[in-house]
Amino acid sequence: MSRGRRSKARQAIESIRSVGRARGTIVRVSELTPPVRVRPRFVALVGTLAAVPAITTDMFLPQLPDIARDLGTTTWAVQLTVTMMLVGGAVGQLVNGPLSDTLGRRRPALWGLTIHVVLSLACAAAPSIGVLVALRTAQGFFNAAASVVALAVIRDRFSGPTASRLLSRLMLVIGVAPLFAPTIGTWVGGIGGWRGVFVALAVFGAAVWVGAWRFLRESLPVERRRARGIRVALSGYWTLLRDRRFVAYALVPGTSFGVTMSYVVGSPFVLQTEYGMSQSQFAVTFAVVGLGLVIASQVNAALVKHYPPEAMLRFASSALLLATGTLLVVVVTGWGGLPAFLVALWFATSFVFVLHPNATALALEPYGSMAGTAAAFLGASSALLAGLISPLVGLLGGDRYAMVWVMFGAGLAAFTVLLAGTPVFRRGAARRLRLEVERVEPDREE
C-alpha cells in the first residue's frame, strides 16, 4: 500500500473514532491479518526508556536506611526522595507530553536523558537531605521525557489489542530491569556507598542516551505534529478532562500503582527492620516479588489475544482487591507469619501489571492524533496519585500495618473507579461497535 493511501486511510479511521467519541461510543478498529511484526530490539528500546524512572528509584532502595543515618534524618524524610521524584515526574510528563507532540519524539527524550546524567552526579554529591530531595524532584521531572516518549511512540504505531500486547511486553522490560536494580544497588553500595549508586545511575543514563540516539527512529512526522504554544497544550488537556471515560481509565493505573509504590517505599523498612532481613536478603525478596509483575504482564499479553481488555480489567481489579484484602488480614491477624505475608504480597503487587496495560491501551486508543499529550496525562496522573498515596505509609507510622492498609485502600480505589466511571462491569460492555477497517500502520515492521 502506498504511503499516500495509508495516510488517507489513517485519517478516515481517526475521523470515525472522533464521531464515536462525540456520540459517547468508543470505536475500535479491529486488527486484521497480516499481523503487525514487532522486533525485539524495538520492545527493548522503548521498554528501557520507560523503565528509566523505575530503575532510578529501585536501585537505591536498599540504601534508604543508610541515607537516613548518614544524613541524620528521619524515615519519613528519606522516603520523600522517592515520593518527590514521582511528583516531579508527574509535572514533567505534563510538560514533556505536549512538547513531544510538537517537537517529535527523539529530541525531548535525548534532552531528558542528558539532564538525568547531570542530576545523578549532583545527587552523588548532595550534602543534606533537603538538597537530595530537591535534586530527586528535578530528576523525576526530566526522567519523565523518556517514559512519556516510550508510550507515545507505541501509540504512534499501534492501537487496540496490539497496543495492549505490546504494553504488556513493555512491562516485561520495565519489570525485569528493576528486579535486578536493588541487587545491583546493594553491590554498588557495598563498594561506593549510596553516593556510588548515583554515579552508577549516571552511567546507566548515558548508556540509554546512546541507545536512543542510535536506534530510536522518529515516529511522529512533521505533518502530524501539533502547533506550538501553551494554549494548544491546555486545549489538549481540556479535551481529555472532558472525556469522563478517559479520565476514569487514566486514574486506574495511578491508583493501582499506588499499591506497588506503597510496597516500594515501605518494604525496605518493613522487611529489613521488622522482619530482620539483611540488605542482600531484601534484594532477593524484592526480585522474587518483582518477578510476579513480569509473569502477570506476560500472562496478560497472551490472554488479550482471546479476551478483550475490558474483561481483563474486570478480572484484575477484582483479584487485586481480594489480594490486598488478604494481605491486610494476614498482617492484622498474624496468620502464617512471614511466608503468608510474602505470598499475599506477591499476588497483591502482581495484579497491578494486568490492570496497567489494559487501562492504558483503552485510554490511549481514541487519541492517536495527540498521543503525546494523552500519554503525558496518563503518566502524570499515575505518578501523582502514586506520589500522594505512598507517603501515607510513612505518615501512618511506616510499619507493616501502615503499608498494608494503604495498599488495600489503593486497590479499593482502583476497583471503585472502574466500577463507577467505566462500562467495564456493565452487562454487554464488550459488545461495542467494531468496524472491520483495514489496519494501517506507518511501518509494518519495527
pLDDT for 86 equals 77
Burial of 49 (0-12, 13-18, 19+ CB in 10 A): buried
The residue length of the chain stands at 446
pLDDT reading at 180 higher than 60 = yes
pLDDT for 379 equals 75
Domain count, the chain: 1
Q: Band of the pLDDT at 26, cuts 50, 70, 90?
A: very low
CATH assignment at residue 302: 1.20.1250.20
Report how far residue 372's alpha carbon sits from residue 220's, in angstroms, rounded to the nearest whole number.
Answer: 10
Identify whether 303 is part of a domain: yes
Identify whether 190 is part of a domain: yes
Identify whether 58 is part of a domain: yes
- pLDDT tens digits for 106-144? 888 899 899 999 999 999 998 999 899 999 999 989 988
Identify whether 421 is part of a domain: yes
- pLDDT tens digits for 191-232? 888 899 899 999 999 999 998 888 888 767 676 666 555 666
pLDDT for 186 equals 81
Would you say the C-alpha torsion 76, 78, 84, 86 has a positive or negative sign? negative
- pLDDT tens digits for 39-78? 667 777 888 888 888 888 878 777 888 888 888 887 778 8
Side-chain-side CA neighbours of residue 334 (13 Å): 1
- Position of cell 537505591? 60
Domain that residue 293 falls in: 36-220+243-435
Identify whether 24 is part of a domain: no
pLDDT reading at 433 higher than 50 = no
Identify whether 191 is part of a domain: yes
Q: Band of the pLDDT at 385, cuts 50, 70, 90?
A: confident
| 3-state secondary structure labels for all residues of the chain | CCHHHHHHHHHHHHHHHHHHHHCCCCCEECCCCCCCECCHHHHHHHHHHHHHHHHHHHCCHHHHHHHHHHCCCCHHHHHHHHHHHHHHHHHHHHHHHHHHHHHCCHHHHHHHHHHHHHHHHHHHCCCCHHHHHHHHHHHHHHHHHHHHHHHHHHHHHCCHHHHHHHHHHHHHHHHHHHHHHHHHHHHHHHHHHHHHHHHHHHHHHHHHHHHHHHHCCCCCCHHHCCCCCHHHHHHHHHHHHCCHHHHHHHHHHHHHHHHHHHHHHHHHHHHHHHCCCCHHHHHHHHHHHHHHHHHHHHHHHHHCCCCCHHHHHHHHHHHHHHHHHHHHHHHHHCCCHHHHHHHHHHHHHHCHHHHHHHHHHHHHCCCHHHHHHHHHHHHHHHHHHHHHHCHHHHHCCCCHHHHHHHHHHHHHHHHHHHHHHCCCCCCCCCCCCEECCCCCCCCCEC
- pLDDT tens digits for 403-424? 999 999 999 999 999 888 888 8
Identify whether 440 is part of a domain: no
Q: Band of the pLDDT at 244, cuts 50, 70, 90?
A: confident
pLDDT reading at 445 higher than 50 = no
Q: Contact 327/341 with Cβ under 8 angstroms?
A: yes
Identify whether 123 is part of a domain: yes
> Percent of the chain at pLDDT above 70?
77
